[in-house]
Amino acid sequence: MTFAELAQLTRSVRRFHQDRKISADELLGMVDVARMAPCAANLQKLRYSIVEDRELCREIFPAVRWAGYLEDWSGPRPGERPPAYIVIQAPRKEQKYTRIDVGIAAAYLVLAAGAHGIGACMIMSFDEDVVHGAVGSPEGYHPVLLVALGHPAEEVILEDDSERIEYWRDESSRHHVPKLPLDEVIY
């Protein structure tokens, strides 16, 4: 697979085969890729909490706000929920580039997952207190971004679209993600 194909395939996935576990080695492998991501001044301030325990996943799930554009959908049903999460933790005292570092690390992480056929969704709309209560944080840190992970149980279709930015679901429950065409993003 070329890198462009991997990038195209690596869509946000929000419905999973909940009973298909992701191995500890696979989860560690994703963090191992994320830690190689570039970061400002090579400060390497980010830390990662791996959540695969069923009870902890159950605790974290209600903290997540899923797919804001899908008003009729309140999130994955039992059986479709993420069997794992990776929580990216950052210093509470943010430096100028902290959030950029978080984004780059998260991108490496989801691409590493995608390379193994594992679906992922970055989540920044979540109840921090609930996640902190579930996994804790290093001293002076807080959870900034969650990556929900699992084997995909939904089809996600990427399509060029100049008219809309909201993702949507069709009558077969396939998830469509519009992206602006190449000639519209080049200045």
Stretch that binds ligand FMN, among 8-16, 33-41, 49-57, 86-94 (CB under 6 A): 8-16
CA pair distance 94, 117, nearest whole angstrom:
33
Q: Please, are residues 125 and 145 in contact by the beta-carbon 8 Å criterion?
A: no
Q: What's the gap between Cα 146 and its chain centre?
A: 6
Cross-strand pairs, 48: 88
Candidates 12, 35, 47, 169; binder of ligand FMN (CB under 6 A) is 12
For ligand FMN, the binding residues in 69-128 under the rule CB under 6 A are 121-125
Our CB check for ligand FMN shows the closer of 25 and 159 to be 159
Stretch that binds ligand FMN, among 9-17, 37-45, 76-84, 134-142 (CB under 6 A): 9-17
> Contact between 167 and ligand FMN (CB under 6 A)?
yes
25, 130, 183 from 186: Cα distances, Å: 40, 41, 5
Our CB check for ligand FMN shows the closer of 24 and 166 to be 166
Our CA dihedral for 158, 6, 53, 144, rounded to 10 degrees, sits at -70
First to last CA, the chain: 29
Candidates 7, 56, 130, 177; binder of ligand FMN (CB under 6 A) is 177
What minimum distance in Å lies between the beta carbon of 156 and ligand FMN?
Answer: 6
Structure tokens at 48: 């990662």
Q: Smallest Cα–Cα separation from 169: which of 85, 69, 86, 95?
A: 69
Our CB check for ligand FMN shows the closer of 9 and 40 to be 9
Our CB check for ligand FMN shows the closer of 23 and 125 to be 125
Structure tokens at 178: 């519009």
Candidates 20, 54, 58, 65; binder of ligand FMN (CB under 6 A) is 65
Q: Kindly list the residues in this chain that would bind ligand FMN in the complex (CB under 6 A).
A: 11-12, 14, 65-67, 121-125, 156, 167, 177
